[in-house]
Amino acid sequence: MKRSNFYLPFLLAAALVGCQDPTKESGTGGGNSTTGNTTISDSTYNNSGDFLENWDAYANGEMKVITITYSVSSVSIDGTYDGVTVTADGTDVTVVSTAKKVQYVLSGSCSDGSFKVYSDNKFVLQLNGLTLHNPSGPAINIQKGKTMESDGGYPHKSVFVLLTGTNTLSDGSNYSQSVTVDGTDEDQKACFFSEGQLIFSGSGTLNITGNNRHAVRSDDYIRLRNSVTINATAIGEDAINGNEYLIVDGGTYSLSVSAAKGKGFKADTILIAGGTTSITCTGSSAEGIEADYLTINDGQVECLAKDDGINAAKSIVINGGYIYTRGTNNDGLDSNGTITINGGVVVAVGTQTPEEGIDCDQNNFTITGGIILGIGGASSIPTSSTCTQPSLLYGGSCTANTRISLLDSEGNIVLTYVPEAALRQMTLLLSAPTMTQGSAYTLVSGGTYTASTSADALSFHNLTNAGTLSSPTTLTSATLSSVVTTVGNVSGGGGNPGGGPGGGGGRPGGH
């Protein structure tokens, strides 16, 4: 797949921090949470407390290194320090620590073992070519510290997960009960589980399978930094699940979810600022990404799911990046609140009516920039009072693999797209910076297409903005008389009205 060198501004826009979803599993995340409609920008994430810290900053000083090497039936432990107790029951390792600046280095291979930590302080967990399977619980289990704090609770601190080499973790489908220090049932929510923050870094690879519930879960937040590679398979529930935040700075993520209602990425607030993410969900009601508030500033995100490709309860903001999202039985891009697209390339594919390529019900749908294609049985109609970049919606039908193209008044390609599936009732949404209000355009089908050889040409999931086309069939012509223009039998989804030929059918006020 070729991506263009077309410049997409990297806007340091807000990621909105959401209120707790009462239906979501509870966590014990602590001091960095913010509720309500508070705006947090990229710069805030990079300059506030634990969010600032990474492996390089934390390791700037002498570390207390403890090396733990797994084998088939035993564990080798090297390194002893005051305040750190490491015990092994066969191949199940438990650490109790009150010390600071501790680095645990795990390596070796074991098909029936585990690693558990109770720590009062931040620490580094280095996975250095580790293969670990626990048939009766999490492979990695990071619990609260054992020293009670002044508020009567127990500490759960940041864990800096340093990946070196290739690491493989897996759990069993059934967990044995585990008891905490205060005698209550212990949380065991994932193959890699932490009650505190998880900050992944390093240039290694983590292959992880969650058979019981999630593959990776934090009861606080998860941050995925540059160079990390994670291949996660979720059979029980979600691939990567953060209670409060999930922040993706970069890296490569391949997530496969087969759980019926599983998600690839899930958290209250998700900010994607880079990296390459590919999510495939085969569960009947599974979704690629689910959040209350989702912001995408950069990177490449591809979601293929049976349910919505991407879903947010409150808002979706796209400022840049390349986003492909398809719901084979539902919507491509779905927000129960608002959608704002300021930049980037967005290809959103839904299925037959009433499902939509882009769906935000009767809420504000704002387009101010970017290259956008939404296709499905219906579509939310952009809110004309908040849009500054023109869009065209066309209602008709399409055949799989038969090209649909938007041409300007001189016959040049503005956008051209090859549908993946036939739609007997189709609503097509197109928007691009090269579209201008007051200009005339023609929508055509088929024809002989010759691709552009320009390095600046966009080519992303069947969507292109260059090349030449000969002998197509005209579908309709329209002048963009408004910032939002509808032609044909547009199905507005959620009760939105369709417009007449060449009309401005956008919602005037949004709600």
Indicate the pLDDT class of residue 186, thresholds 50, 70 and 90.
confident
Give residue 249's Cα distance to chain centre: 11
Contacts of 34 (CB under 8 A, 6+ apart): 17, 40
Q: Does the pLDDT of residue 22 top 50, yes or no?
A: no
Mean pLDDT calculated for residue range 138-157: 71
Q: Does the pLDDT of residue 14 top 50, yes or no?
A: no
Q: How far apart are CA 318 and CA 289, in angstroms?
A: 14
Alpha carbon distances (Å) from 235 to 74, 100, 125, 172, 215: 29, 36, 25, 11, 8
pLDDT at 158: 86
Q: How far apart are CA 228 and CA 268, in angstroms?
A: 22
Contacts of 235 (CB under 8 A, 6+ apart): 173, 209, 210, 211, 258, 259
Q: Does the pLDDT of residue 17 top 50, yes or no?
A: no
pLDDT at 201: 93
pLDDT at 492: 78
Largest CA distance in the chain: 80
Domain range summary for the chain, segments of one domain joined by +: 50-176+183-402+423-441
Mean pLDDT calculated for residue range 421-445: 97
Whole-structure pTM value: 0.86
Q: How far apart are CA 257 and CA 236, in angstroms?
A: 9
Q: Does the pLDDT of residue 166 top 80, yes or no?
A: yes
Q: Using one digit for the tens of pLDDT, what is the confidence trace for 206-215?
A: 999 999 999 9
The SS3 of residue 23 is coil
Indicate the pLDDT class of residue 510, thresholds 50, 70 and 90.
very low
Q: CA angle, 377 as apex, 371 and 382 as ends, to 5°? A: 45
Q: Using one digit for the tens of pLDDT, what is the confidence trace for 30-74?
A: 333 222 333 334 444 444 444 445 555 565 668 999 999 999 999
Alpha carbon distances (Å) from 294 to 45, 251, 286, 310, 336: 15, 18, 17, 9, 12
Structure tokens given for 22: 């009462």
Q: Does the pLDDT of residue 496 top 80, yes or no?
A: no
Nearest to 247 by CA among 218, 275, 223, 274: 223
Q: Using one digit for the tens of pLDDT, what is the confidence trace for 227-245?
A: 899 999 999 999 999 999 9
